[in-house]
Amino acid sequence: MSSDQRLPILTVENVSKAFGGLQAVDRADLEVAEGSITGLIGPNGAGKTTLFNLVSGFIKPDSGRITFQGERIDGLPPHQVFRRGLVRTFQIPRELGGMTVVENLMLVPGEQAGESLWNAWFMPWRVSDQEDANFTKAEDVLRFLNLHHLRDEYALNLSGGQKKLLELGRTLMCDPKMIMLVEPAAGVNRTLMRDIVNDIKRLRVERGITFFVIEHDMDIVALLCDRLIVMAEGTKLAEGSPDEVRADERVLDAYLGGRGR
C-alpha cells in the first residue's frame, strides 16, 4: 500500500527555531501521512531532535505552525500535546528509576480519578476499578514486549535495551494516534530489534497508529519505514521511499558533508 494518497496527520509548516546564533530548525516544511511509518534521517546536527521537541511541545517554535489532525499544536505544553494522542519517546531512555516497571506504565493513562487528592482521600472506590484495569492493561503491554518477568523490578535496574522497550511500552498505555520514536534501535540487539520492527508494523495495522521515527541505522530504516524524510541544516532536503532516498545524490552529499561546498 502506498501512503502517498493518504491525508497528513501531522503538518509542519515553515517552522523555525534558533538557539542563540544557531539556527537549529530553519523554515522546515514537512508532512507525515496518516497510517504511515515515516522515518526522519539526516546527518548529526540536522535538527531532527529539535524538530521532535518542537512537535511534542517541549520547546516552542520561533515561527511557523504545527498542525496535528487539523488542529494547531505549536506552543501547547507537552501534556496537552500528549492528550491529543501524539506521544513520544526520548533518545536516552527516560525511565522512572525509583518506580517498578509496571508502575512506570500505570503512570501513563490520562484522566485517572486517583490523580486527584480528593478522590484518593474520600472516593477510593472510584480509584479502585481504574487501578485494576490499568494494571491489567500494563501487564498486557509487558507481555507484548516480553518484559513481563521484570514487572516488579525497579526500572533503574533494566538493561539499556529493556529501557528502550519500556519507553515504547509507555507510549502504548494510552491508545495514541501517533507515536514519535527516537532511535528505537540504539542499544537494542538485532534479534530483539527485528521483533520490535514487527511489533511496530503490527501496531500500525491493528490499531492504525502512525509512526514517526528518527533512526540512524539504515538497515532498520529500510526494514521499517515506508516513507523517508531527509533533513539537513534545519530543513527538509529530500523525501521519498527508502529506495528513492538512497539513490538521491543530495542525500549522499549531505551525509558526506559535500553540500554547498
State the Cα–Cα distance between residues 140 and 129, nearest whole angstrom.
17
Closer residue to other proteins in complex, CB, 51/102: 102
Closest to 242 in 3D by CA, of 12, 45, 41? 41
The interface region with other proteins, picked from 87-95, 205-213, 228-236, 238-246 by CB under 8 A, is: 87-95
Q: Give the E-state strand segments of the chain in sequence order.
A: 8-19, 22-33, 37-41, 63-68, 71-72, 86-88, 178-182, 210-214, 227-232, 235-240
State the Cα–Cα distance between residues 129 and 124, nearest whole angstrom.
9
State the Cα–Cα distance between residues 223 and 245, nearest whole angstrom.
14
Binding mask 154-173 for other proteins (x = CB under 8 A): x-xx------------x---
Q: How far is the CB of 131 from other proteins (least distance, A)?
A: 4
Residue 38 binds other proteins, judged by CB under 8 A: no
Closer residue to other proteins in complex, CB, 5/121: 121
The interface region with other proteins, picked from 13-21, 74-82, 190-198, 226-234 by CB under 8 A, is: 74-82
CA distances from 258 to 231, 232, 249 (A): 15, 12, 10
Map the footprint of other proteins across residues 177-236, applying CB under 8 A: none
The interface region with other proteins, picked from 10-18, 116-124, 185-193, 202-210 by CB under 8 A, is: 116-124
Q: How far is the CB of 225 from other proteins (least distance, A)?
A: 23
Q: How far is the CB of 160 from other proteins (least distance, A)?
A: 15
Of residues 115, 219, 243, 244, which one binds other proteins by CB under 8 A? Answer: 115
CA distances from 98 to 9, 127, 198 (A): 36, 22, 31
